[in-house]
Amino acid sequence: MTRVTLLAGGVGGAKMAEGFDALDDVELSVIGNIADDAAFHGLWVSPDIDTLTYSLAGRIDRAQGWGVADEAHRALDVLDELGNDTWMTLGDRDFGLHIYRTNALRQGQSRSEIAAHVAQVFGVKSQIILPTDDVVQTRVRVADGWLSFQEYFVREQCKPEVLELDFDGIQSARPTKAALTAISTADLIVVAPSNPLVSIDPILNIPGIRAALTATSAPKIAVSPLIDGKVVKGPADRMMTALGLRADALGVARHYGDLIDTMVIDNADAALVDPILALGMGAVCQHTLMKTIDDKTALASAILAECQ
């Protein structure tokens, strides 16, 4: 049994999580991103954690990669009719989860207890772990000023150029014991092909997390979310360019730097192997585009094989 701890954002992270979750000889813990969380209609919504949970529970809308399959939007229609902003698409089944979470928070449960309970009830085999129980909020500075992450990502559809990122509350956030334990007891640490700047950095920058990763002797492997300098989905490439980074697998490798032992990059990026090796880390080419469950398990198996 190999204990794998995966650092993951939403859609890209969940695909990688599904790959490891499906392997019999793996005990998977996923540390998810909570910095995209936000309140809508008085309810606490945790998009990346929910994408992980819905994916691992087999409830995800596969066509979208997020949200629940077989969903309706009657609650949102009523909110719209009553004059609320409804740019954040929340389905009826999804609303049920947000109502549960918000109520449990009011009753004094921690965010990680709630996430673990939901995962267990939904039949998720792997552990879904929050990096902190404190509130950390990604904020995005654009020409017009600061936006919350969901305002930038969903309402503005990632169109404005990103001038600066900030993780409000991160300095005083405390890591959860579960996250530190998942890191210190792992046989293998994997950074999922998630947005390095707004999915992985808000996990890494929680005080104590980076130090725990540095302290463990387990191999640390990151999968590039950029294939041939392009994203599969989302704004990571434009964000990296706007913030002065190279928008390709080499840029991702440089960004993670010493934290990572090996980069897994796509076969299409074979030309970047040597420049990545020159950074003092390993570089391996694989088929990294995950469309089917076979793609996901094949990539997870290849990553496991790398460190055995």
Contact residues: ligand GDP, CB under 6 A: 9-13, 15, 48, 193-195, 199, 223-225, 227, 231-234, 236, 288-290
**Nearest distance, CB of residue 289 and ligand GDP, angstroms:** 5
By DSSP bridging, strand 145-148 and strand 38-40 are: unpaired
Largest CA distance in the chain: 58
Q: Please, which residue, 12 or 219, has the CB nearer to ligand GDP?
A: 12
Nearest residue (beta carbon) to ligand GDP = 12
Q: Please, which residue, 95 or 153, has the CB nearer to ligand GDP?
A: 153
**Nearest distance, CB of residue 194 and ligand GDP, angstroms:** 3
Among residues 195, 192, 290, the alpha carbon closest in space to that of 236 is found at: 195
**Nearest distance, CB of residue 108 and ligand GDP, angstroms:** 28
Residue 294 CB: number of other CB atoms within 10 A? 11
**Nearest distance, CB of residue 107 and ligand GDP, angstroms:** 28
**Nearest distance, CB of residue 277 and ligand GDP, angstroms:** 19
**Nearest distance, CB of residue 215 and ligand GDP, angstroms:** 25
**Nearest distance, CB of residue 252 and ligand GDP, angstroms:** 9
Q: Please, which residue, 48 or 133, has the CB nearer to ligand GDP?
A: 48
Q: Please, which residue, 48 or 94, has the CB nearer to ligand GDP?
A: 48
Q: Please, which residue, 52 or 173, has the CB nearer to ligand GDP?
A: 52
Q: Please, which residue, 179 or 227, has the CB nearer to ligand GDP?
A: 227
Around 61, how many Cα atoms within 13 Å sit in the side-chain half-sphere? 13
Residue 16: alpha-carbon gap to chain centroid: 10
Q: Please, which residue, 175 or 235, has the CB nearer to ligand GDP?
A: 235
